[in-house]
Structure 1
Amino acid sequence: MTLFSLIFALLIEQLRPLPVQQVVAGPLGRFSSLLVERFNDGRAANGRMVWLLVVIPATLAVGLVFYLLWQVHPLFALLFNVGVLYLTMGFRQESHFFTDIHLALRMGELDRARILLGEWRGGQYHEASSSEVARLAIEQALLSAHRNVFGVVFWFIVLPGPCGAVFYRLSRYFAEDWGRRRDAEFGEFGRFARTAFEWVDFVPVRLTAASFSVVGDFEDALFCWRTQAVLWPDRPSGILLASGAGAMGVRLGMPVHESGEIVDRPELGIGEEADADYMQSTVGLVWRALLLCLLLLALVGVAGWVGA
């Protein structure tokens, strides 16, 4: 059922992309703001309490619904799985930015590509070169693929029913919404959410990086992972980007023009400068990695069936 749920959810999402802002991000944002308004007193203890009282019960509730539907009929449980995955996972949640930037670079419309990149990442890139735009778009795509697909898939497989998908999605959302805030008014309320997601994502991020290595240039990916990831400010992101860059034979990281200044960043990967061609290679790398995961899941399922 796990494999079929993933395949059906991916097919539906490809045919009819989910309007994430309206259906997921908007309601979650309003709920998050309400929690902050009512419970944030600037202390980490309150942030921990609220996280535990929201994420854990929500995960258990989804598991209970799945169990009850399974008792009625497995088909209902399968449909519930697909529905939850459709809401929590998807290649196309942010891929329209990547596709439009890729097309703009192909057409020589650098200014348009810069604007689209700014809308996607939230900065300004008026002075960025075409290589910098391609580089930043590839980095964002690799991170997005992990957070929107591979991380969800890992926890969906680990926990029963769709519990894992909800657990990962909520953990990631609160880490991004609360954990990244450093202003004095917000205080330490988001510290636990940030730390919790680091643990939740510890294994998935390394498995995603490993899958990039297997379906790409294995030796270069491992070399970059081992020697370059530690230099990146955010270690988990560094692991993903270094392995992805090595797998494709492209250079990521490096200084870029962002919001009117030059941001100094370490170099990731070995090989050639990023361009529109490597953006196409990124799509292929992600799809091959996903197919590898589905194949392994299918083999495990067949082995279990034969063993029974």
Structure 2
Amino acid sequence: MLTLPVSAALAVAGVAVDRWLGEPRRAHPLVAFGRYASRIEAHLNTGRRGRPLGLLAWLAWLAAVAPPVVVAALLCALLPWPLAWATHVALLWFALGARSLAEHIAPIGAALARRDLVAARELTGRIVSRDTAEADATALSRAAVESALENGNDAIFGALFWFAIAGGPGALAFRLANTLDAMWGYRTPRFLRFGWAAARIDDVLNWIPARLTAASYALLGDTRMALRCWREQAHRWESPNAGPVMASGAGSLNVLLGGAAVYHGVIEERPALGAGSPPGAQHVDAALRLVERTTILWLAALLAMAFVSVATHV
């Protein structure tokens, strides 16, 4: 078990490595995990027309997540401390996606700023599931801002929270659970009866981090508006965790999100989030800056708690 001062120092190191290297360009471990999870699903997802798969859905999740997390925990426990600490940092680096988030979203804001809708549509289509072929600048800005705010929690703050709780193995477990939710957590005929466990587990693991993220977004922007939007709008959103994060973030930025979006050729009217002006290129940049400031806030909070911990034991 890592002490708080060590955990804080390693968290800073993990964020620094992610900022320096970004996600692995080749042989990304998530690719191998995705193939492994797909094989599990192919063998166990047999309830597409019958009753919901109860125990089997839980066992499938455990079969996918437990082996890599157990191996990671054993390495951290058994290796000499310099190698163990390096393993914790490597696992957090693997779980984080701060640089990748900026690399995918900042070019959208740049394309919108120069009014290049063709490039903005192509870039946005790479990161969202909604249709972007006919999207206008407002719709593209909305998609980019929503993605930045929500994935700030999923790709950064959730991993940092679980790293603070359980070190590298905790961050790894969170990242793999979030990946399984993205793979299996759909309400489609194929996954409705199989992926519900992955979706519920991700909701549980993300519940506290999402609300800490929402509180951080509120603190670092228009606090009063962010808290009001969180209180009045978050419960309308289908996801119990994305709602608070995006409502607070939108209120903090004084931007209006939600509304109509096209999925598979069908217009879906989503609840409104935030307040203020419709989103534009400037809000894409503002959302990324909010995520970056929140990262700094979280690391500063960890270091402050570590300092207090050391001071009270001197």
Say whether 1:162 aligns with 2:168.
yes
Partner of residue 215 from structure 1, selected from 214, 220, 233: 220
Say whether 1:179 aligns with 2:185.
yes
Give the aligned partner of residue 25 of structure 1. 30
When the two chains are superposed, the root-mean-square deviation of aligned CA atoms in Å is 1.8
How big is the shift at 1:127? 2.6
**1:127·1:260 contact (CA, 8 Å) conserved in 2?**
no
Say whether 1:92 aligns with 2:99.
yes
Say whether 1:58 aligns with 2:65.
no
Q: Which amino acid aligns with 2:258?
A: G
Whole-Å separation in 2 of the counterparts to 1:25 and 1:275: 33
Give the aligned partner of residue 238 of structure 1. 243
Encode CA deviations 1:26-59: one digit per residue, 9 max, x unaligned.
1111101111122232223212112234434433
TM-score, normalization: structure 2?
Answer: 0.90
Moved over 4 A (4+): 257-261
Whole-Å separation in 2 of the counterparts to 1:177 and 1:54: 12
Q: 1:23 to 1:148 in 2, by over 3 A?
A: same
Encode CA deviations 1:243-301: one digit per residue, 9 max, x unaligned.
00011111111224555443312211111121111111112111111111111111110
How big is the shift at 1:130? 0.9
**Worse overlay, 189-198 or 257-266:** 257-266
Unaligned runs of 5+ in 1: none
Q: Which amino acid aligns with 1:227?
A: E
**2:106·2:285 contact (CA, 8 Å) conserved in 1?**
no
Whole-Å separation in 2 of the counterparts to 1:176 and 1:127: 25
Q: 1:148 to 1:214 in 2, by over 3 A?
A: same
Instruction: Tell me the matched-pair count.
Output: 303
Q: 1:260 to 1:192 in 2, by over 3 A?
A: closer
TM-score, normalization: structure 1?
Answer: 0.92
Whole-Å separation in 1 of the counterparts to 2:248 and 2:130: 25
Q: Which amino acid aligns with 1:173?
A: T
Whole-Å separation in 1 of the counterparts to 2:33 and 2:187: 17
Q: Which residues in structure 2 correspond to 1:91-170 (within 5 Å)?
A: 91-159=98-166, 161-170=167-176
State the structure with bigger RCO (CA 8 A, min sep 6), 1 or 2: 2
Q: 1:21 to 1:282 in 2, by over 3 A?
A: farther
